[in-house]
């Protein structure tokens, strides 16, 4: 019988985090207007954040120009707070971004911090020195330095707000530029498209004629932020859709921003499930054929083929997806893979003392990689006994200490333990079948993959079944390398399909 207790549906938290970052922290341009005096030395604004019509948080930003070492320095800071509910537990996320730059948009320093209590906060600080950007990233209380090449044409994340006020967009105009995004520690190409003026409803019910501006950025392709800008150059409203829900922000007064948050009434984990007919003993199946409808998208672009699944397009928005079981083999050898799948990283701390201790305890006297993987999967399933839905994603080092979390914590701990024993690993993101009290559905999920006999074998430590049946649908994977895409990027495919996906079960073996 399909377990109702051990299956863990992935919090849309990280996906929502990316959505939140874009909607709140990426400004929209000013519209064409008459020349006006220089902006005051200090500007302050407040926003409220709504998700599916419910207030879930607020944001506060301050920009000021100061004298520092004989030069003008533009100092900006933004603080955002958000609370939602996941399977009855409140999840709180707080984000701070601070930058210093020249009036021309040349970045000097930045600091980014994401807090998700009770998990430890993560932060990144950076300083531009000549042709280098020196970074210090802190995860689970441990810091690591790195250096990126820096190009002078890359601007700060807040520069666009000021430069576009002095050179505003007009309806029909398109503009693009490169900007550094502290949340991802990467450079993004930002594209702005001014559509036209249209009547827009604001938070208080008033309607105003505002310029509609669409913004995309290359780090999360496919996600569109729509801003609505008044004739004074102020973004009064922004919106974006992901996970099948709409997030909106409104510019408001400080008093309005501090009104009570009611987001704890919105259970995002439940609202993002993709309902299907019941699949008896789903995680014991050998093969399942699904008909997957991907509204507005090519199914072959959404669903990857390879490993345990193949997809064949049958119509414009419909694909036949065949998923086969992938048990752990009885024996295995290790083959050469890229270093990113075996290396220490900030989320997968294979060298952490506690991770090493868990790996040793789980392995026991096993020497064959397949047997080690099997024992580790079961060990994590038995050891992480406290399911905690209030954490978005903790690192393996932290999970090794707290021994609690949801599927993301199971996945990263298992991946790090595998690497501690020299077995290549990565994490996978996708959908998993779950039986709930009143429904059966697919929900977002994360699991681990181990490279055995040159093949990536899925391991689900929330189940501990020695591999997976045919009830896992994969959308993406990541090594969680420090040099690779940000962890949030791995969730982009999930963000874009939830709410746009229909799954029908065609056959089960």
pLDDT tens for the chain, residues 1 to 509: 333 334 444 444 444 554 445 555 544 444 444 333 344 468 899 999 888 788 888 999 999 999 988 899 999 999 888 887 665 667 778 889 999 999 889 999 999 998 877 777 788 999 999 999 999 988 878 888 889 999 999 999 888 777 666 677 899 999 988 999 888 888 999 899 999 999 999 999 999 999 999 998 888 777 888 999 888 778 899 998 766 678 899 999 988 988 866 544 555 566 678 899 999 999 999 999 999 998 888 999 889 999 999 999 999 899 999 999 999 999 999 999 999 999 999 889 999 999 999 999 999 999 999 999 999 999 999 999 866 544 557 889 999 998 988 888 999 999 999 999 999 999 999 999 998 878 899 988 999 999 999 999 999 999 999 999 999 999 999 999 887 766 666 777 777 777 788 999 999 99
Instruction: Give a yes or no: residue 11 inside a domain.
Output: no
Instruction: Give a yes or no: residue 177 inside a domain.
Output: yes
Does residue 117 sit in the same domain as residue 186? yes
Residue 208: which H helix or E strand, with range? strand 207-217
CA dihedral 257, 181, 174, 60 (to 10 degrees): 10
pTM of the model: 0.77
For position 336, what pLDDT does the model report?
94
**Residue 135 bridge partners (DSSP):** 126, 146
Cα–Cα distance list, 480 to 83, 178, 396 (Å) = 26, 24, 11
Report residue 158 as tokens.
């807040």
Instruction: Give a yes or no: residue 359 inside a domain.
Output: yes
Instruction: Give a yes or no: residue 44 inside a domain.
Output: yes
Query: Rg of the chain's alpha carbons, rounded to an integer?
Result: 24
Instruction: Give a yes or no: residue 32 inside a domain.
Output: yes
Non-local CB neighbours of 139 within 8 Å, separated by 6+ positions: 120, 122, 346, 347, 395, 397
DSSP H stretches of helix in 334-475: 353-363, 369-383, 396-402, 407-420
Burial track 467-502 (b if 16+ CB lie within 10 A, e otherwise): bbbbbbbbbbbbbbbbeebbbbbbbbbbbbbbbbbe
Final residue in a domain of this structure, among 235, 250, 268? 268
Does residue 435 sit in the same domain as residue 494? yes
Does residue 192 sit in the same domain as residue 322? no
Final residue in a domain of this structure, among 268, 294, 328? 268
Q: Three-class SS of residue 165?
A: helix
In this structure, the chain runs to a length of 509
Q: Quick one: residue 106, left, alpha or beta (phi over 0 = left, psi -120 to 50 = alpha)?
A: beta
Does residue 309 sit in the same domain as residue 453? yes
Q: How far apart are CA 284 and CA 460, in angstroms?
A: 13
Does residue 361 sit in the same domain as residue 250? no
Burial track 339-358 (b if 16+ CB lie within 10 A, e otherwise): ebbbbbbbbbbbebebbbeb
DSSP per-residue letters across 38-61 = PPPSEEEEEEEEEETTEEEEEEEE
Does residue 257 sit in the same domain as residue 380? no
In 436-500, beta strands by DSSP E: 440-452, 455-459, 467-468, 472-478
The CATH number of whichever domain residue 443 belongs to comes to 3.10.620.30
Instruction: Give a yes or no: residue 322 inside a domain.
Output: yes
Residue 447: which of 311, 305, 293, 328 has the closest Cα? 328
For position 37, what pLDDT does the model report?
35
Instruction: Give a yes or no: residue 367 inside a domain.
Output: yes
Does residue 29 sit in the same domain as residue 148? yes
For position 211, what pLDDT does the model report?
94
Does residue 252 sit in the same domain as residue 327? no
DSSP conformation class of 30: P
Backbone angles phi, psi at 358, to 5 degrees: -65, -40
Report residue 417 as tokens.
């333990």
Does residue 226 sit in the same domain as residue 345? no
In the chain, the number of structural domains is: 2
Report residue 101 as tokens.
């730059």
Instruction: Give a yes or no: residue 13 inside a domain.
Output: no
Q: How far apart are CA 160 and CA 23, in angstroms?
A: 15
Q: How far apart are CA 203 and CA 258, in angstroms?
A: 15
Q: How far apart are CA 16 and CA 81, in angstroms?
A: 13
Q: How far apart are CA 135 and CA 23, in angstroms?
A: 25
Does residue 385 sit in the same domain as residue 263? no
Report residue 320 as tokens.
């036949």
Cα–Cα distance list, 244 to 260, 337, 497 (Å) = 25, 37, 8
**Residue 407 bridge partners (DSSP):** none
For position 261, what pLDDT does the model report?
64
Final residue in a domain of this structure, among 228, 250, 268? 268
Does residue 279 sit in the same domain as residue 369? yes
Q: How far apart are CA 211 and CA 196, in angstroms?
A: 5
Report residue 19 as tokens.
């959505």
Does residue 372 sit in the same domain as residue 317? yes
> Which range marks the domain in which residue 116 is found?
22-268
């Amino acid at each position: 019988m399909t377990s109702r207790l051990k299956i863990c549906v992935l919090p849309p938290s990280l996906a929502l985090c990316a959505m939140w970052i874009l909607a709140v922290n990426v400004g929209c341009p000013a519209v064409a207007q008459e020349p006006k005096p220089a902006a005051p030395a200090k500007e302050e604004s407040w926003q409220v954040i709504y998700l599916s019509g419910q207030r879930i948080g607020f944001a506060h930003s301050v920009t000021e120009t100061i004298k520092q070492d004989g030069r003008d320095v533009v100092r900006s800071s933004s603080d955002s707070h958000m609370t939602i509910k996941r399977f009855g537990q409140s999840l709180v996320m707080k984000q701070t971004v601070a930058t210093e730059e020249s009036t021309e948009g040349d970045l000097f320093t930045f600091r980014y911090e994401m807090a998700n209590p009770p998990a430890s906060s993560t932060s990144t600080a950076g300083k531009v020195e000549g042709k280098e950007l020196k970074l210090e990233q802190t995860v689970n209380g441990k810091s690591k330095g790195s250096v990126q090449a820096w190009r002078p044409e890359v601007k700060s994340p807040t520069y666009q707000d000021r430069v576009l006020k002095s050179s505003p967009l007009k309806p029909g105009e398109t503009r693009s530029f490169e900007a550094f995004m502290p949340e991802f520690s990467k450079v993004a190409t930002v594209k702005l498209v001014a559509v036209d003026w249209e009547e827009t409803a604001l938070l208080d019910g008033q309607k105003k004629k505002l310029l509609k501006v669409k913004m995309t950025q290359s780090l999360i392709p496919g996600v569109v932020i729509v801003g609505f800008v008044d004739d004074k150059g102020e973004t009064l409203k922004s919106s974006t859709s992901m996970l099948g829900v709409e997030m909106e922000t409104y510019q408001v007064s400080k008093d309005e921003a501090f009104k009570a948050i009611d987001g704890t009434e919105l259970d995002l984990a439940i609202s993002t499930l993709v309902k299907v007919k019941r699949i008896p003993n789903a995680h014991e199946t050998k093969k399942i054929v699904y008909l997957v409808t991907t509204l507005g998208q090519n199914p072959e672009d959404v669903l990857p083929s390879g490993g345990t699944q193949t997809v064949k397009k049958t119509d414009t928005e419909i694909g036949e997806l065949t998923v086969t079981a992938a048990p752990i083999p009885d024996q295995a050898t290790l083959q050469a893979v890229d270093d990113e799948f075996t290396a220490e990283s900030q989320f997968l701390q294979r060298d952490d003392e506690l991770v090493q201790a868990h790996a040793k305890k789980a392995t026991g006297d096993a020497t064959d990689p397949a047997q080690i993987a099997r024992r580790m999967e079961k060990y994590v399933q038995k050891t992480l006994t406290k399911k905690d839905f209030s954490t978005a994603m903790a690192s393996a080092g932290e999970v090794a200490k707290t021994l609690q979390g949801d599927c993301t914590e199971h996945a990263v701990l298992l991946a790090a333990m595998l690497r501690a024993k020299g077995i290549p690993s990565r994490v996978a993101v996708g959908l998993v079948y779950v039986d709930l009290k009143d429904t059966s559905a697919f929900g977002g999920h994360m699991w681990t993959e181990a490279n055995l006999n040159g093949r990536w074998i899925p391991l689900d430590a929330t189940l501990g079944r020695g591999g997976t049946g045919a009830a896992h649908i994969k959308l993406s994977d990541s090594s969680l390398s420090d040099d690779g895409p940000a962890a949030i990027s791995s969730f982009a495919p999930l963000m874009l399909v939830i709410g746009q996906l229909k799954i029908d079960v065609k056959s089960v073996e």
